[in-house]
Structure 1
Amino acid sequence: MALLDSVHLTMLIGPTLPLPAPPTLMEALQSVEVTHRDDGPNGFQISFSLGRGSLADVLDYGMLLGPVLKPFNRVILVVTHNGLPAVLMDGVVTHRQHAPDTEPGSALVTITGEDVSVMMDLEEKRAAHPCLPDMAIAAKIMLGYAKYAIVPDVRPPMALDMPLPVMRVPMQVGTDLQMLRGLAARNGFVFYVEPGPVPGTNRGYWGPPKRLDLPQPALNIGMGRDSNGAKLQFEYDALAPAVVGDTVQDSVTGARLPVRTFASTRLPPLVLDPATTPLHTTRSVLASAPGGLNMVQAYGRAQAVTDNASDAVVTARGEVDTLRYGRALRARGLVGVRGAGYTHDGLYYVKRVTHKIGPGTYTQDVTLTREGETALLPVVVP
């Protein structure tokens, strides 16, 4: 389907191995909305117009009776912009809504779903993972979903804890998705499944927010002819950053030892003056780690609190005109901002992107974050 002269949308849909959507389905397409974020699953919502144009539609709308829009069908969306394809979604239909005609030709059917990680959230389990650190447990769980071509991308935490069987055995009580997110959260990490790069394949990322990739082209604001369709508003949350100051009882020695954190360990840092430096007023919180931890574990949990709290001191929210920007903005990476002024220019982490697609339109709602004002690097990728 041609959305604009330079933008085309391709849809694959069906059980297990999706096939190109039939032409009648693409002709009925009204809107597509796809959301990527690092704190939850990717989601999609697609609306189609309904009609009864033949004898086969006497009993009901043919689109509802057919197998294409059934729950748990797999949906792959690919956007090609100026000849460059990008996989926006590889997901599963989890909800279907039908709005019958109120006026002739106004009936709609809307399918909603999540990325293939939703299949990790269907079965609660009791399982032991003896002798495995958190990163190995994450890789082990993801390898069980080869059906969805999920390739594990697992990064080691700063405090690597190797559980000894005589001391403890890591246990899972809940779904695989709950386990993966819980392991990620306690290390200050994120877990998500990212579609592509080839349609039908996915990458399961378990690690810190990604800041080491090449930044995407900058969003230019208020720069006249050089503006590229970005509109942003900036917020500073002075209560967001926090450091940990407490004492914990070491499970090995039994001694009470101090646990202190001082700043975020995200690499690379994005700002010159993080909000956790001594020049700023910063909340100090107690260690919330449960009992029975050694000092390595306790420090890792405490540092995760500081890292997570520092991530969104400054938040930018707004809209991007995709045709003017020239590409689909990738969530969970870096992007530059310029034209907003010395305080807010520089690199940001792209926390969330919602793609809104319809005939003749393609915009992106974005949420960008970083740990303070005044960028560390004075220049960005144009």
Structure 2
Amino acid sequence: MIKGIDLSLMFGPGIPFAAPRGVIDALQSVKVEENAGETPSGFELGFALEKNSPLNTLFLLAGGAALPILRVALIATISGRAETLINGVVTKTDLTPGSGSNPATLTVTGKDLCATMEYFDFSGLPYPAMPPFARVNLVLAKYAWLGVIPQVIPSLEGPPLPTDKIPRHKDNDLDYIRTLAHEAGYTFFFKPGPAPATSVAYWGPDIRIGKVQSALTMESGVPTNAEELSFTFNKDGLAIPIVFIQNALTKAPIPVPIPGAIPFQPPIGAIPPLPPRIERLKNTANLNPFEALQRGFAFAARNMDAVEGRGRIDVLRYGQIVHARSLIGVRGAGAAFDGTHYVDSVSHDLSRGSYKQSFTLKRSGLLPTQSSVPA
């Protein structure tokens, strides 16, 4: 158990700076949504607005057209270790007038830096002889001034010959990068850090390996650190994907079923269920065999989780901050659900003297693959 958490707020046009004392004193509540997959992370800040508060100026700046990008960064310091909760931009402000002795309330909401990639449409921009990962790097280079650090994993697709086709940009930058990620079986998201005003833009496979966070413990007396924890098992959404590879000589499509074992997602459930249906993937026969198999593995990765968990913790009791897109241990939930799980989403809820987190977990099967998890 820890005694407390220090929260730092930075904001400003283009480059965020430390908020003045008056703004920090007016901050009443903080909510941060941290999601995996294509759902962007977001935040909501609640301020008590006095008549002479500098937040009046902040409200005018956020609502005016002179500053289209107002940056916000939130940093939580726990046990001497600073962790960036969100690095984003303001998208909406709401002002609720006060009544009687109650001050007015200013609510500032926003998203991570993916919101800045939706402003302009660059459709038609050519990318001659550039494979998908090179195009992604070129697109992300425009956002280096916002502290964006690209982390791009090359896909199996090679560079197209300019005599055959020249790829062209479609829609805004965010939609185009997500389209390239979907075609490659990849995911794209922003991860705040490592510095407060920076974010890592990850384009690559959804990897479920790495360090396991300390275990969530239920019904175990003194070691119990989770306030709520429940699990469900549902295999109705699972499917065995089948891709079609065209024979170069006969032009006949050859069906290839994709196994449940994903190379970059080792199983974290010992007994996966048998999928109840078969899904035939369309538009794979016109791809080369490597690209077709890549589409199949990507579909299997998105539709392999039969176990879903939901819970809530007090960070002050748990001792650290739970992050999405990572692994975490579970104890005391029963033999079927104990072991390692993947954290799919996390909701941070902070107020003075309180830091709660709600989260969702998922994994492919029942029973743990390891005999123990980190305490």
TM-score of the two chains, using structure 1 as the length reference: 0.89
Alignment correspondent of 2:348: 355
Q: 2:231 & 2:363 partners in 1: Cα distance? A: 11
Q: 2:84 & 2:252 partners in 1: Cα distance? A: 52
Among 81, 88, 92, the alignment partner of 2:89 is 92
Change (3 A) 1:341 1:241: same
Alignment correspondent of 2:170: 173
Q: 1:170 & 1:66 partners in 2: Cα distance? A: 42
Change (3 A) 1:344 1:184: same
Alignment correspondent of 2:66: none
Alignment correspondent of 2:308: 315
Deviations 1:40-69 (A, max 9, x none): 2110000101122xxxx5xxx762344686
- Indicate the larger mover: 224-233 or 98-107: 98-107
Which residue identity does 2:90 align to in structure 1? V
Q: 1:348 & 1:233 partners in 2: Cα distance? A: 13
Change (3 A) 1:186 1:282: farther
Alpha carbons 2:243, 2:258 under 8 Å: kept: no
RMSD over aligned CA atoms reads: 2.2
Change (3 A) 1:322 1:358: same
Q: 1:68 & 1:321 partners in 2: Cα distance? A: 36
What are the ranges of 5 or more consecutive residues in structure 1 without an aligned counterpart? Answer: none
Alpha carbons 1:50, 1:105 under 8 Å: kept: no
For the residue of structure 1 that corresponds to 2:303, the secondary structure is: helix
Alignment correspondent of 1:50: 49
Alpha carbons 2:3, 2:316 under 8 Å: kept: no
For the residue of structure 1 that corresponds to 2:365, the secondary structure is: coil
The 5 Å alignment of 1:15-26 reads: 15-26=13-24
Alignment correspondent of 1:231: 228
Alignment correspondent of 1:299: 293
Q: 1:175 & 1:92 partners in 2: Cα distance? A: 17
Kindly indicate whether residue 62 of structure 2 is the aligned counterpart of residue 70 of structure 1.
yes
Alignment correspondent of 1:37: 35
What are the ranges of 5 or more consecutive residues in structure 2 without an aligned counterpart? Answer: 64-68
For the residue of structure 1 that corresponds to 2:62, the secondary structure is: coil
Number of residue pairs matched by the alignment: 366
Among 257, 262, 267, the alignment partner of 1:260 is 257
Q: 2:361 & 2:314 partners in 1: Cα distance? A: 16
Q: Following TM superposition, by how much is the alpha carbon of 1:318 offset from its aligned partner in structure 2, in angstroms?
A: 1.4
Alignment correspondent of 1:374: 367
Kindly indicate whether residue 181 of structure 2 is the aligned counterpart of residue 184 of structure 1.
yes
Which residue identity does 2:209 align to in structure 1? L
Change (3 A) 1:284 1:360: same
Alpha carbons 2:328, 2:341 under 8 Å: kept: yes
Deviations 1:169-220 (A, max 9, x none): 3332111111222222233322111111111121111122232221111111
- Indicate the larger mover: 61-70 or 337-346: 61-70
